[in-house]
Amino acid sequence: MAKMTAAEAAVHVLQKEGISVAFGVPGAAINPLYAALKKVGKIKHILGRHVEGASHMAEGYTRAAPGNIGVCIGTSGPAGTDMITGLYSAQADSIPILCITGQAPRARLHKEDFQAVDIASIAKTVTKMATTVLEPAQVPRVFQQAFHLMRSGRPGPVLIDLPFDVMMAQIEFDPDTYTPLEAFKPRASRAQVEKALAMMNEAEHPLITAGGGIINANASALLQEFAEIVNVPVIPTLMGWGSIPDDHPLMAGMAGLQTSHRYGNATVLAADFIIGIGNRWANRHTGSVDVFTEGRTFVHVDIEPTQIGRVFGPDLGIVSDAGHALELFVAVAKEWKAAGKLRDRTGWVAQCQHRKRTMLRRTDYNDVPVKPLRVYEEMNKYFGRNTRYVSAIGLSQIAAAQFLHVYQPRNWINCGQAGPLGWTIPAALGVRAADPSTDIVAISGDYDFQFLIEELAVGAQFKLPYIHVLVNNSYLGLIRQSQRGFDMDFCVQLSFENVNAPELNGYGVDHVAVVEGLGCKAIRVHRPDDIIPAFEQARELMAKHSVPVVVEVILERVTNIAMGTEINAINEFNDIIDVA
């Protein structure tokens, strides 16, 4: 055993649990932990400019690779409340991150001390555990419990709040004998899998819905193997996008009210059976339950017992980690195929492939100012199959999901349920911190970009290069489109005459000047034919300077993107293509 501060013990646990990078902002109440980080060493710290930004960096880091857990550190009071959005975003998408906050000394907790707030109570509804540690000797085991909880069952975030005197106290702890706890993952039974396969076999037009739980479980290869054995098309959710390549013959498109394909919705409406694996039946995927479920039988496989039946009651529910379930589905399907028990799905697959070839949306617009749909066409032309895309919310994200192509798991990194503006920049930096080599391309509208724009300085300081495609229409575009239902265009225009940049012609903020002032590089594009040359220039600038490079495309002010209130009632505001 060794004598050390509780803060030093916490850092030793972090290392033993595989943490090599942390994001955060120091402050007086958390300085004992920073002193321990400095003394113990081996954990790289990336300094955020805003604690919310640092929490989203931790999210991006986790989402980038299997097994990653992002760590965010902040001081007492407002640092913890700043992290709440990051915790909510992580919890909503089943992403494990660990947020650590400093706190006033225990004797001062109920005396309205400076920056003393009950952050554990505030964070409880958006975490798997939120606790203020009151006994120094408990610190290493609370951290051990945190990692066990984050990895067990449905993954999610944890907040640990450490009073100043707790961190400073001397305790006995032996790092050499520390061992992480084995995570608990529920497993499907063979009887459940056989029942689900029997139900699929009875259906004429079955589908597999692939959710984010498949990516969390690192089970995309198993999903593809299962789909190929049973020859059943796959509809990924937004969080499951990339679990099967976009050009795979069984990838039937995405469905939903916004981030969906025409052919994906049409295929869901033609289906009579759907097995969802690792998904939530989110409302942007389903629309109203009545329309989505009419005439269809459902099996739902999810790691979280209370998720089954939350939106609607399936005909069969199976509580299981997606990876464990798919291992058994593959094994049983192989046996049934060898025995000639699986139905021939050739005709149904051909129908789905026909819809995918023919039910398209136009993107080849030559307008100036640029139509946003053309931007995504150029991105598809230029960026390769291995590109990681990072996006948050808004018309830019919705259009990206409709028009971009994703071919691998974790190559679409998106805050799905929470959708906080400002998420994209810090998340992209977190992805880059986790992955030093792959092409990373972020996509933002101008308002998302402005929310946490200061985090670009982090990319400049710590040499975290990536390309950020900024589509600028100087509008809160999604909210403006939503306001059509109220017959108004109110408080959503970001345009103004910038006295320092009259050449912007009323588009307001000079993003190029701001980006360059933060130590990064920026290119502004006005014409569609100049987009790919700008990407080429951006790649050269990244290689030369190792900083984020922003490619700003000036868009037409108003473009409505396809969406609707039901999957059978999508408004196609732009040209559609029905190929013969």
- Residues with a catalytic annotation lie at 25, 51, 421, 476, 479
Q: How far is CA 284 from the centre of its chain?
A: 15
Nearest to 432 by CA among 408, 416, 413: 413
Sequence-distant (6+) residues with CB within 8 A of 464 are 46, 429, 432, 433, 458, 547, 548
**Phi first, then psi: what are they for 205, rounded to 5°?**
-135, 75
What gap in Å lies between CA 108 and CA 88, rounded to an integer?
A: 28
Q: Indicate the residue type of 452.
A: L
How far CA 261 is from CA of 4, 241, 278, 298, 441, in Å, comes to: 57, 12, 21, 22, 22
Q: How many Cβ atoms are within 10 Å of 463's Cβ, its own excluded? A: 12
Q: Is the dihedral of CA 519, 525, 530, 535 positive or negative?
A: positive
Tokens matching residue 138: 């408990």
Q: Which residues of 303-320 are buried (b: 16+ CB within 10 A; e: fewer)?
A: bbeebbeebeebebbbbb
The angle at the Cα of 476, spanning 475 to 482, to the nearest 5 degrees, equals 120
Q: What is the DSSP code string of 80-120?
A: HHHHHHHHHHHHHTT--EEEEEEE--GGGTTTT-TT---HH
In the chain the first and final C-alpha atoms are separated, in Å, by 75
Residue 229 Cα to chain centre, angstroms: 29
The torsion region of residue 500 among left (phi > 0), alpha (psi -120 to 50) and beta comes to alpha
425 DSSP assignment:
H
CA distances from 102 to 90, 91, 156, 266 (A): 21, 21, 21, 52
Give the span between the Cα atoms of 86 and 84, in whole angstroms: 5
Give the closest residue to 6 by CA, choosing from 93, 86, 100: 100
**DSSP 8-state secondary structure symbol assigned to residue 554:** E
The answer to whether 14 touches 43, Cβ cutoff 8 Å, is: yes
How crowded is the C-beta side of 308, counted as CA atoms within 13 Å?
A: 21
List helix spans (H) across 110-242: 119-123, 139-151, 164-168, 190-202, 212-216, 220-230
